[in-house]
Amino acid sequence: MTISSPGIGSNLDVNSIVNQLMSVEQQPLTRLAHKEVAYEAKLSAYGSIQGALSSFQSTMAGLANASKYTSISASVSDSSIASASASSIAAVGNFSLQVDKIAQKQSLVSAAFTDTTSAIGTGTLNIQFGEYSGGSFTQNADKASTSITIDATNNSLVGVRDAINKANAGVTASIINTGGGFKLSLTSNDTGTKNTIKLTVDEGTGTPADNTDTTGLSKLAFDPAAVAGSGKNLTESQAANNAEFWINGVFVSKPTNTATDVIQGVTLTLNKITTAGSPVTVSVNRSTSSLSTAAADFVKSFNDLNITIRQLTGYDSKTKQAGLLQGEFAPNAVLSQIRNSLNGTALGLDGQRFSLSQLGITFQKDSSLTFDAGKLSKTLEANPSIIAGFFASTGLATDANVTFASKTASTAIGKHELNVTQLATQGTVAGALAPQLNITAGSNDTIVATVDNQTVSVKLEAKLYTDATALASEVQSKINGALTASGNSVTATVSGGKIALTSSTYGSGSKVIISGNGADGLLDVGRVSTNGLDVAGTINGNSATGSGQYLTAENGLKVSVGGTTTGDRGYIYVSEGLAERLNTLTGQMLGKNGTLSSAQDSINALIKSNQSRQSDLSRRLTDMEARYRKEFSSLDQLLGKMSSTSSYLTQQLSALASLNK
């Protein structure tokens, strides 16, 4: 039993004695606790370095995007006339723009109805889009026609409007109250002359004459090629127009007010017509702002990391305080490796090496970086693509029809030779004879098309087509309309009077197979389906793997091959990419087996060992205190007994003395 009270026999202060002894004995434990606090502080300091290094890595990952360094901007001298934007492939220069017409949507309007709820008539509305020219209507092959059933449930003006809008047929229907009646208005969703509306009516009589009368549902018929009252029962309130404009004196007509292929890499959006003889200027310039921002971010990120490490590993002469990590190897190793990379050079897209100083980024005496935006601007103007290759790991082909797609860590930096033995082709089915132009419902109107990996069944409009081109347009529009969700499509062409259908994709997975009761009449029984081929060739003399138009080398280099020639296709230069190199380097440093993790693991091991020693020492001190208390309690009891004996003897001696007297 531990006695914790002051002496009971001798008044010996056991607590004070034991506490003073334990205070001395606990000094090693206190020193161990102080060590643990120091270790924890070091771990926190390493956490600060990790944070700064992670921020630096994030900046490097952003800088590895090649598009940052080839940024092109476009503007129009009068923004009310048009606006412009540019991609990295745009050519720098100025272009004269004169706008004569703005693209418009066609609008049709019906005769007035007395109310919106009375029955108009029943039957089927068929909506098509196409171009009216020279007295004939040519269907837009890129748009499928839509048939809408009008019956007793929706044969009012309101019902017809709602049925058209619900069908998503490419037109918007609305009702206009003129004050003298109600008119149905139909407006094409798209601009351009190829989006002129043709609306035919089948009232179930089985004769085309339905569109020529002005009663029943035929009141809504509109054939742009017909004369008024003979299937042209709606009035055109606004004609469909193409945008018409001049670029540097060259006339251009486009179905929309947005043109993406007139000036290479430039998207033009037209707003209004220019004053005659007063063109505006479209200016395409190389933008250095994004690169300047990226370079400034690069410098700031490094300087933040540099300051963090220097403060934690250095000595402040003013405060006479050493950093928490002074003398530690890992932080200085991190900074040293990054500095070595920055002091070196990177291989650009032309095979030449560039240094940071050529981009206006230089080291200062205090190991920080500084940035000269003016020097960077001059270098960028001279060779923007080379600069892109300095920061970002990317590729540049000498053949304009070959495009760098991607690389892997195994892809060697430098020049790669490309040789193409086979170009990628598209799957196609070619007709053997001219098509039958008379399509009859239930007889030869069904086409089942397998395009790539998707199969759809469509019905052609039953009628006598004017020629193979008109029928090809109908086939293309119906198939592509059914394939919309899958993203697949076909192009129908006519050559020598025969129709051919071609998939939009390339490679061995590209194919077109046609069946159904209309297949033989469309393409003949002798039709031939030919699957596409993958591109084939070598990179650096080694066989590469083809998939569609993409060719991938064993070393991970992937390129897209277009054009029309085989054989030697030049070189692809792969740049080193300083930012990517640093991104990889910092990733390794931050990794599980990286420099910082190893240092932290060592500290954690010391903390664990320290805590184990503290636990052992605490147990020994507990036992020691118990022993001290037991010993001093025994001493106290002994002294108490001796004191009692002393008192007894004193009393006895005093008694003897009295007897002697």
- The DSSP result for 104-115, as a single string, is B--EEEPPPBS-
The more confidently predicted of residues 344 and 47 is 47
Helix, coil or strand: residue 503? strand
Residue 659 CB neighbour total at 10 angstroms: 6
Residue 440 CB neighbour total at 10 angstroms: 15
Are residues 540 and 556 part of one domain?
yes
Q: How far apart are CA 438 and CA 211, in angstroms?
A: 19
Q: pLDDT (tens digit, 9 = 90+) per residue, 142-156?
A: 887 888 999 999 999
Buried b (16+ CB within 10 A) or exposed e, 362-393: ebeeeeebebeeeebbebbeebbbbbbbbbbb
The more confidently predicted of residues 610 and 235 is 235
Q: Which residues, 6 or more positions from 418, have their beta carbon under 8 angstroms from its beta carbon? A: 397, 399, 402, 537, 538, 539, 551, 559, 561, 568, 569, 570, 571, 572
Are residues 93 and 229 part of one domain?
no
Q: Can you give the CATH number for the domain in which 503 is found?
A: 2.60.40
Q: How far apart are CA 127 and CA 124, in angstroms?
A: 10
Indicate the range of 35-39, 491-495, 496-500 predicted with least confidence.
35-39
Percentage of the chain exceeding pLDDT 90: 45
Q: pLDDT (tens digit, 9 = 90+) per residue, 83-127?
A: 999 887 787 889 999 999 999 999 999 999 999 999 999 999 999
Are residues 409 and 543 part of one domain?
yes
**Mean pLDDT on 428-456:** 95
Are residues 467 and 409 part of one domain?
no
Instruction: State the pLDDT at residue 427.
Output: 97
Q: How far apart are CA 153 and CA 160, in angstroms?
A: 10
**Mean pLDDT on 8-36:** 76
Are residues 544 and 407 part of one domain?
yes
Contact assessment for residue 207 and residue 140, using Cβ atoms and an 8 Å cutoff? no
Instruction: State the pLDDT at residue 1.
Output: 39
User: Residue 299 corresponds to which tokens in the numbers above?
Assistant: 């410098």
Are residues 540 and 420 part of one domain?
yes
Of 211, 238, 265, the domain-final residue: 238
Residue 617, in any domain of the structure:
no
Phi first, then psi, for residue 389 (nearest 5°) are -70, -20
Are residues 111 and 98 part of one domain?
no
Residue 35, in any domain of the structure:
no
Q: How far apart are CA 34 and CA 393, in angstroms?
A: 49
Residue 416, in any domain of the structure:
yes
Q: Evaluate if residue 357 carries a pLDDT over 80.
A: yes
Q: Evaluate if residue 209 carries a pLDDT over 50.
A: no
Residue 305, in any domain of the structure:
no
Are residues 277 and 147 part of one domain?
no
Are residues 258 and 123 part of one domain?
no
Are residues 445 and 520 part of one domain?
yes
Q: Highest-confidence range of 264-278, 583-597, 645-659, by mean pLDDT?
A: 264-278
Phi first, then psi, for residue 441 (nearest 5°) are -60, 130
Q: Are strands 446-451 and 512-515 parallel, antiparallel or unpaired?
A: antiparallel
Q: pLDDT (tens digit, 9 = 90+) per residue, 621-657?
A: 788 878 878 877 777 777 777 777 777 777 777 777 7
Q: How many CA atoms lie within 13 A of 293 on its CB side?
A: 8
Instruction: State the pLDDT at residue 208.
Output: 47
Contact assessment for residue 568 and residue 581, using Cβ atoms and an 8 Å cutoff? no
* Percent of the chain as helix, strand, coil, to the nearest 5: 35, 30, 35
Nearest to 221 by CA among 239, 205, 203, 206: 203
Of 530, 563, 598, the domain-final residue: 530
Q: Evaluate if residue 7 carries a pLDDT over 70.
A: no
Q: How far apart are CA 477 and CA 137, in angstroms?
A: 15
The more confidently predicted of residues 323 and 519 is 519
Q: Evaluate if residue 19 carries a pLDDT over 90.
A: no
Instruction: State the pLDDT at residue 660.
Output: 67
DSSP H or E run through 386: helix 384-391
Beta sheet of 512-515, edge-to-edge order: 454-459, 446-451, 512-515
Q: pLDDT (tens digit, 9 = 90+) per residue, 506-548?
A: 999 999 999 999 999 999 999 999 999 999 999 999 999 999 9
Q: Evaluate if residue 597 carries a pLDDT over 90.
A: no
Residue 258, in any domain of the structure:
yes
Of 209, 238, 267, the domain-final residue: 238
User: Residue 280 corresponds to which tokens in the numbers above?
Assistant: 């505006």
Q: Evaluate if residue 5 carries a pLDDT over 70.
A: no
DSSP H or E run through 295: helix 289-313
Number of domains in the chain: 4
Q: Highest-confidence range of 363-367, 548-552, 596-600, by mean pLDDT?
A: 548-552
Residue-number span of the structural domain to which 256 is assigned:
72-103+243-286
Residue 605, in any domain of the structure:
no
pLDDT band at 262 (very low <50, low <70, confident <90, very high): very high
Are residues 206 and 113 part of one domain?
yes
> E strands along 49-207, which residues?
72-76, 82-86, 93-101, 107-109, 123-133, 136-139, 146-150, 171-177, 182-188, 196-202
Q: pLDDT (tens digit, 9 = 90+) per residue, 404-433?
A: 998 888 998 889 999 999 999 999 999 999
Residue 192, in any domain of the structure:
yes
End-to-end CA distance of the chain: 49
Are residues 167 and 82 part of one domain?
no
Instruction: State the pLDDT at residue 213.
Output: 62
Tell me which amino acid residue 613 is: R
